[in-house]
Amino acid sequence: MFRNLCFRVQSIALLGAFGLSAALAAQTPGSLKDAYKGDFLVGAALDAAQIEGKDARADAIVLAQFNTISPANALKWARVHPKPGKYRFKLADRYVAFGREHHMFVVGHNLVWHNQVPGWVFRDDKGQLLTRDALLQRLKEHIQTVVGRYKGQIQSWDVVNEALDEDGSLRQSLWLKIIGPDYIEKAFEYAHEADPQAQLTYNDYNLEKPAKREGAIRLVKKLQAEGIPIASVGLQNHDSLTWPSAAEEDATIKAFAALGVKVVVSELDVNVLPNANQQPTADVSLRVGRNKALNPYRKGLPDSVQQQLARRYADLFRVFLANRATVARVTFWDVTDGDSWLNNWPVKGRTNYPLLFDRQGKPKPAYDAVLAAADRKP
- The catalytic site residues sit at 162, 267
Which of 294, 280, 285, 281 is closest to 352 using CA atoms?
A: 294
Nearest approach in angstroms of CB 327 to ligand G3I is 18
**Among the residue ranges 71-79, 240-248, 249-257, 288-296, the one whose residues contact ligand G3I (CB under 6 A):** 71-79
| Minimum distance, C-beta of residue 76 to ligand G3I, in the bound complex (Å) | 6
Cα 191 to Cα 326: distance, rounded to the nearest angstrom: 23
Judged by CB under 6 A, the chain residues 101 through 120 that form the site for ligand G3I are 115-116
Three-state DSSP class for residue 145: helix
Residues 156-195 that bind ligand G3I (CB under 6 A): 161
Which letter does DSSP use for residue 116 in this model? S
Residue with nearest beta carbon to ligand G3I: 341
Q: Which is nearer to ligand G3I, 249 or 334 (CB)?
A: 334
Q: Which residues pair with 336 in a beta bridge?
A: 357
Applying the rule CB under 6 A, the residues between 262 and 291 that interact with ligand G3I are 267, 282, 284
Minimum gap (Å) between residue 248 Cβ and ligand G3I: 19
Taking the complex as a whole, the smallest distance from the CB of residue 115 to ligand G3I amounts, in Å, to 6
Tell me the window of 32-40, 69-77, 141-149, 252-260 that interacts with ligand G3I (CB under 6 A). Answer: 69-77
Q: Which of 28, 236, 271, 351 binds ligand G3I (CB under 6 A)?
A: 236
The set of long-range contacts for 256-262, using a CB threshold of 8 Å and a minimum separation of 24, is 256/216, 256/217, 256/220, 256/326, 257/323, 257/325, 257/326, 259/217, 259/220, 259/221, 259/224, 260/224, 261/220, 261/230, 261/231, 261/232, 261/233, 262/199, 262/231, 262/232, 262/233, 262/326, 262/327, 262/328
Instruction: For residue 72, state whether it binds ligand G3I (rule: CB under 6 A).
Output: yes
Determine which residue in the list 10, 50, 68, 73 makes contact with ligand G3I, applying CB under 6 A.
Answer: 73
* Stretch binding ligand G3I (CB under 6 A), from 18-26, 72-80, 169-177, 243-251: 72-80
* Buried/exposed 153-167: b ≥16 CB within 10 Å, e otherwise: ebbbbbbbbbbbebe
Instruction: Determine the Cα–Cα distance for residues 375 and 29; give it in Å rounded to an integer.
Output: 14
Q: Which of 341, 353, 357, 367 binds ligand G3I (CB under 6 A)?
A: 341
Q: Tell me, by CB under 6 A, how many residues bind ligand G3I.
A: 12
Q: How far is the CB of 280 from ligand G3I (least distance, A)?
A: 12
Nearer to ligand G3I, 73 or 232 (CB): 73
Cβ–Cβ < 8 Å for 271, 344: no
Cα angle value 353/320/211 (rounded, 5°): 85
List, as one string, the DSSP characters of 256-302.
HHTTT-EEEEEEEEEE-SPPSSSS----TT------GGG-TTTT---
**Shortest distance (Å) from residue 344 CB to ligand G3I:** 8
d(C-alpha 41, C-alpha 34), whole Å: 9
Q: Which is nearer to ligand G3I, 47 or 59 (CB)?
A: 47
Binding mask 37-56 for ligand G3I (x = CB under 6 A): ----------x---------
User: Using CB under 6 A as the criterion, which residues of the chain lie in contact with ligand G3I when the complex forms?
Assistant: 47, 72-73, 76, 115-116, 161, 236, 267, 282, 284, 341
